[in-house]
Amino acid sequence: MEASTIWSALTASVLAGAATLSTHFLAFSTEVVDLTGHVHDPLSLLLEVNVGGRTHIAAGLRHARSLITVPTRTLVVVTSDFEEGPPLGGLLAEVRALVTPAATSWGARVSTTPAGPATRPASPASS
């Protein structure tokens, strides 16, 4: 399972435990699945999530935007590789629509390659 999925599920579970917060969990690839009913149980949440496939981030943001009741008190966190399947214009329009009424957005980019030490190309030896 992707480390980002585990991080997202655990974070959602912690936030759901705060009585003053309303926490939603949406999973998306080509369709959006609302797994909010599972946020209080991270294991149940992880068992419901399928990782992989084509990504339609705009659809996820559109659904998230439909859940917002008080934009100035809203934080939308997107954990994705940000490789949008459909044309990019739809994603940009959804981001604009989300942040225009003052909702705060945070994108956590997930790398599709394993993390490792940064390397630099070897420089030619000087004589």
Give the tens place of pLDDT for each residue, 22-65. 999 998 888 899 999 999 998 988 888 876 667 888 999 999 99
Per DSSP bridges, beta strands 75-80 and 104-109 are parallel
What integer best gives the mean pLDDT of the chain? 81
- Degrees to nearest 5, angle at CA 24 with 21 and 28: 155
Q: Which two tokens stand for residue 56?
A: 């339609």
pLDDT score, position 111: 62
For residue 103, the one-letter residue type is: A
Q: What is the pTM of this model?
A: 0.76
